[in-house]
Amino acid sequence: MSQVLNPAASLPLADSPELQQALAQANLPTLLAVYVHLSHDAAMLDRFADCIRPAFAPVPTSIPDDLAADLRGKLHHLLVTGEGLATGAPDDALFQRIMSVMVGEPVEQEFIELAFDQCGFRPWIDRSALPGRASRPANFKVLVIGAGMTGMAAAIKLEEAGYDYVVIEKNAEVGGTWYENRYPGVGVDTPSHFYSFSWEIWPDWHHYHPQGADMQRYMVEVADKYGLRRNVQFNTRVETLVYDEASGMWTVTVRRPDGRTEDLVVNAVINGHGPVNRFKWPDIPGLADFNGPVVHTADWPADLDLKGKRVAVIGTAASAAQLVGAIAPEVASLTVYQRTPHWVIHNPEIADEVSAGMQWALRNIPGFKEWFRFKVYWAAADGLFANVLQDPAWVGNDLAVSELNEMTRQYALSYLHQKFADRPDLIEKLTPDFPIFSKRIVLDNGWFDALLRPNVTLENKGIARILPNGIEAKDGSVFECDVIVCATGFNVARMLGNLTVKGIGGRDLGAEWGEEDARSYMGMCVPGYPNYFHTVGPNSAPNHAAGQNLISECQVNWIIEALDRVTEAGAKSFEVTEQAYDDWNRKVEARMPQMIWSHPRASSYYMNSKRRIFLSWPWRLVDFFNETRAPAEGSYVLHR
């Protein structure tokens, strides 16, 4: 373990107008946490405990002005003079008490290690700093597929752990999803201050939910800081992976920018290509015959100008909602084709800019960005888990699975009725008939406002065919348009994409998984494919809330622990056992009937055509964190 963060090391701060502005504008519960962290003044927690409420409580947080002023004054004095600064870091009990008060509800002991690691207080392991850690064998090489979030995490941590590695990236730059997705309005559902690497908590977000360009800027800055590009081979695609049992090596065939192929021989492969970069076109007759541009949101042309155009958008999920909100004011007319309505949540801060004072606090007040990250994690991640766990008392209910889930549904319904009070036709079209959270929700960032514009029409009668000059609905009506935009998602179920992966005895992972039935151990390993690690794999997606960044980090940690077992034992490779694989999949299958995604009315890309939930992790993020500290003894074999 690393040492606990010591914010006091950067004190005192100079008194300045910027500090005064930061104390006036910054989040108060976070200022409270910083003050108690630095001072160990637990009495201040008692004064605030009755004022701070959980994120989704019916009664909101309300801190009296005099109490807020007293906190700001005490913290200001401590920051600029150092007086009242405690010696050493808080003990774990005080940390836990600070966490509980700042989020308005108990934070149990099981969350403490996750909070230490994910919020930068005490990273789980910095392998470069472990005393006595032996260097890794010079001839042991790891190949990483993809330089998106997971691939970048793998590269940084492999470097830290002393492994030789190479990253193969099909694009010209790092960023993955955020390099590729550039459609107008593209953004992130996960709050900015949690959706980042735990070891690179960024203070420079412009919005509380990052826009796509901000997300890509963060990725680029991380790549710059860690010098990642020296080990990345850009504009290169991985095509085939073949395992040789005798040598324990993988031969990886890549295609270079000039079209030639090359074989790379490595000890291990970490596949970080992710499930959301292989977009799919809708299966609609006549799509290829349209006379104008037909584009997908995930492949947005840089030179596409929609001003004054007649535009059709196919789809109403997250990408479509972001796009429509952004382009509706500038197009001549816009028809949106909806197959299924989605639950829409009003998040008042979705478009909020981070104030200058808040940004200054994040950059300069010691400990502030770490504590704010914890506050965001708690509200946006495991705090939402009760929405997706079925309460047996609610079995048979068509529209909710628990009391909290019904409360969340009513909140969304109230917002829907409020926005469209004068448009009962839109209320009817936009009201889902399934429980909220049983498929991905949409955060409203201009979507509902766009649907109220006179130049926007929501069509839900279904598409019959595409004509050369427009779209014909199933009722025979025709919308003539200049551009068709397909916001129709990704082929998530085909998790290998176009990769060919051959394991022991010529086993073919693509054939075993087929088009839609991927299975693994912990979303990472399959027996018969030693030293092949498939990140963000089957049943590892955090579909109850934010947290893909955490899942990626946890999987990278587990994989490096697995590789360490190989190198420390002088073995050739690591393979999960059939028993562990079978037990794990039985455990997942037994859990799924308890989850909202299995509700009779649920239908989402989380499930395959046989209604097997192949994508979702059916427990909390803290459970994934705890499960991935190291491979369980007895769950694997080392080949020598």
Write out pLDDT tens, residues 146-205.
999 999 999 999 999 999 999 999 999 999 999 999 999 999 888 999 999 999 999 999
Per-residue burial over 140-169, b = 16 or more CB atoms within 10 Å of its CB, e = otherwise: bbbbbbbbbbbbbbbbbbbbbbbbbbbbbb
CB 142 within 8 A of CB 269: yes
How far apart are the C-alpha atoms of 559 and 501, rounded to whole Å?
18
How far apart are the C-alpha atoms of 300 and 473, rounded to whole Å?
25
Q: What is the pLDDT of residue 4?
A: 59
How far apart are the C-alpha atoms of 80 and 38, rounded to whole Å?
13
Q: What angle do CA 23, 359, 355 make, to 5 degrees?
A: 80
* DSSP letters spanning 230-269: GGEE-S-EEEEEEEETTTTEEEEEEE-TTS-EEEEEESEE
Looking up tokens 């947005």 gives 300
Residue 348's Cβ-count burial label (10 Å; 0-12, 13-18, 19+) is exposed
Q: Which residues contact 317 (CB under 8 A, 6 or more apart)?
A: 342, 440, 442, 487, 489
Give the Å distances, CA to CA, from 37 to 3, 86, 160, 419: 15, 8, 29, 43
CA 574 to chain centre: 28
How far apart are the C-alpha atoms of 562 and 488, rounded to whole Å?
37
Q: What is the mean pLDDT of each run of 10 residues along the chain (640 residues)?
A: 65 96 97 97 97 88 96 98 92 96 96 94 89 90 98 97 97 96 93 94 93 96 97 98 98 98 98 90 96 97 97 97 97 97 88 94 97 94 90 96 95 97 98 97 95 98 96 95 97 95 97 97 98 97 91 97 97 98 98 98 96 97 96 97
Q: What is the pLDDT of residue 203?
A: 95
How far apart are the C-alpha atoms of 501 and 170, rounded to whole Å?
18
* DSSP letters spanning 585-609: HHHHHHHGGGBGGGSTT---TTB-T
Neighbours of 435 (CB within 10 A): 28
Q: What is the pLDDT of residue 276?
A: 81
CB 440 within 8 A of CB 318: yes
Give the Å distances, CA to CA, from 325 to 187, 300, 322, 482, 623: 12, 16, 5, 19, 36
Strand 261-266, strand 249-255: pairing: antiparallel
**What CATH superfamily is the domain 287-343+399-486?**
FAD/NAD(P)-binding domain (3.50.50.60)
Question: Domain residues of the chain, as ranges?
Answer: 7-107+355-383, 139-278+492-639, 287-343+399-486
User: Which pairs count as long-range contacts for 518-523, CB under 8 Å and 24+ apart, including other chains?
Assistant: 518/493, 518/614, 519/581, 519/585, 519/614, 520/581, 521/576, 521/580, 521/581, 521/584, 521/585, 521/635, 522/555, 522/558, 522/584, 522/627, 522/628, 523/551, 523/555, 523/617
| Mean pLDDT score across all residues of the chain | 95
Q: Which residues contact 431 (CB under 8 A, 6 or more apart)?
A: 341, 413, 416
Strand 310-314, strand 483-486: pairing: parallel
Q: What is the pLDDT of residue 174?
A: 98
Write out pLDDT tens, residues 513-562.
999 999 999 999 999 999 999 999 999 999 998 889 999 999 999 999 99
Helix ranges, 186-228 (H): 212-226
Angle at which helices 92-103 and 28-39 pack, to 10 degrees? Answer: 160
pTM of the model: 0.96
Domains 139-278+492-639 and 287-343+399-486 share a fold: yes
- The CA dihedral of 632, 633, 636, 639, to the nearest 10 degrees, is 140
Q: What is the pLDDT of residue 42?
A: 97
**CATH architecture type of domain 139-278+492-639:** 3-Layer(bba) Sandwich (3.50)
CB 270 within 8 A of CB 533: yes
CB 463 within 8 A of CB 474: yes
How far apart are the C-alpha atoms of 365 and 7, rounded to whole Å?
8
For residue 243, list its beta bridge partners.
250
